[in-house]
Amino acid sequence: MELVGFVHKYEWGKTGKDSAVAQLAALNDPEFNVEPHTPYAELWMGSHPSGPSKYKSSGDVLQEELPFLLKVLSINKALSIQVHPNKSEAKLLHMKEPKIYKDPNHKPEMAIALTPFVGLCGFRPLPEIRDILINITPLKELAVKDSNDLDLLVANDELGLRNCYKTLMNADVATIGKCIDTISKDYGKELCNYGVLEIFNTLKNDFPNDVGVLSLFFLNVVRLQPGQAMFLGANQIHAYLSGDCVECMACSDNVIRAGLTPKYKDLKQLLSSLVYKGDLAESKIFTPERFDDHRLVFKPPVEDFSLIQLKLQPSDGEYILKIEQSPGILLVISGQRYLETKGLKQIKLKRGAIVYLPFEAGTEIRFLSNEEPENQEFLAYISTPNAPLFVKT
């Protein structure tokens, strides 16, 4: 069952044909017109009410209530620094402030890079944060009220991080702006030493006087190569800065913002919810399970979703993918194949194809060689629930 995805044109997206979202959308839907100066930020594949997919054959909306939403993101300008509440917090926040927290669900996310991708994820090791504060004096003067907090950071005590980050987040806009300007003017060497000069300059230009620019010194910069992933669990502070990725997430709109945005920041809830644990940036790269030469499975510690990455070379013959019986959505990134599965007509797969795999499709999906000469690797992602949530009798 072929689908047409839903495109969101948020201002942070890449424009025109530079956007992977626009490229895929145009191939997915012949009627989709790409405007050269329009940002194309997200391609949604699923049944989320804010952008449900439609059946290509009929134009009807996909009705199945899926626990996940599959996306492609093309990022030209940084998204906000944010966290997502866990399930128990989400329920309470939704009851208390339904206009801000619009549903009672959590929102774990997985991002898999399609191009070189840069994001922020989790706090740096605490001794490293202390080193940065010592070497960038205006940041220390802004964020450190009590010198004992520096000793706590060296001792890897999360209380030191809590105190310094709370002080930073409560600083007024004028003080933040002055600090950013001083660092920009006088601390170029330090910015180079910490590998953040380019990112710092971009963020301060895109988000003047925003506390998120200074959060850069507290958070890990994670650089992903195509095929690498990072998982963003509940209360894990993060942001996407640049690049293209496939993303899968639980169906929710709950966001607690922390910076790089003019939107509302629920500071009290943010500081209460955050995971104040320092880790190396390398530890944020998610390791998938390899099942054979062709299949990787990204299985996060949540029931809502998992992602299968399937790669087939032109010389590879028929490949049979065996999966747990559940609904799923398939997206083709490159190459061509024919798909056969129980209850569905044979479908020709090529870049931009989106296919809904209903529960009735069973446990085997066959990928047949293309009859036409093909010299491009076939790459597809398949999102499914990560637990047998759809058992039918």
- Band of pLDDT at residue 387, cut at 50, 70 and 90: low
Q: Any known ligand binding at 82? A: yes
User: Residue 40: what are its φ and ψ, rounded to 5°?
Assistant: -120, 100
- Band of pLDDT at residue 360, cut at 50, 70 and 90: confident
Other CB atoms within 10 A of residue 251 CB: 19
pLDDT of res. 316 = 92
Q: Any known ligand binding at 109? A: yes
The CB-side HSE value for 392 (13 A sphere, CA atoms) comes to: 10
Q: Any known ligand binding at 371? A: no
Q: Any known ligand binding at 238? A: yes
Torsion of CA 30, 33, 38, 43, to 10 degrees: -20
- Is the predicted pLDDT of residue 389 greater than 50, yes or no? no
Mean pLDDT, range 99-118, rounded to an integer? 96
pLDDT in tens, 25-82: 999 999 999 999 999 999 999 999 999 999 999 999 999 999 999 999 999 999 999 9
pLDDT of res. 370 = 79
Domain boundaries, the chain: 2-121+222-273, 126-211, 289-384
Class of domain 2-121+222-273: mainly beta
- Between helix 158-169 and helix 126-135 the angle, nearest 10°, is 50
Share of the chain above pLDDT 90, in %: 92
- Is the predicted pLDDT of residue 393 greater than 60, yes or no? no
As annotated, the active-site residues are: 257
Other CB atoms within 10 A of residue 2 CB: 19
Residue the block writes with tokens 């955050």: 274
pLDDT in tens, 226-269: 999 999 999 999 999 999 999 999 999 999 999 999 999 999 99
Look at phi and psi of residue 124 and say left if phi exceeds 0, alpha if psi is from -120 to 50, else beta. beta
User: Residue 313: what are its φ and ψ, rounded to 5°?
Assistant: -85, 155
Q: Examine domains 2-121+222-273 and 289-384 and report if their fold is the same.
A: yes
The Cα 256–Cα 130 span in angstroms is 26
The Cα 244–Cα 248 span in angstroms is 13
Torsion of CA 241, 245, 246, 252, to 10 degrees: 10
- Band of pLDDT at residue 337, cut at 50, 70 and 90: very high
Cα maximum dimension of the chain: 70
Mean pLDDT, range 123-138, rounded to an integer? 98
The Cα 364–Cα 372 span in angstroms is 24
- Is domain 289-384 in CATH 3.40.50.2300, yes or no? no
The Cα 87–Cα 298 span in angstroms is 21
Weakest mean pLDDT among 65-74, 117-126, 384-393: 384-393
C-alpha closest to that of 323 among 271, 371, 272, 367: 367
Mean pLDDT, range 295-304, rounded to an integer? 96
- Band of pLDDT at residue 23, cut at 50, 70 and 90: very high
- Is the predicted pLDDT of residue 99 greater than 60, yes or no? yes
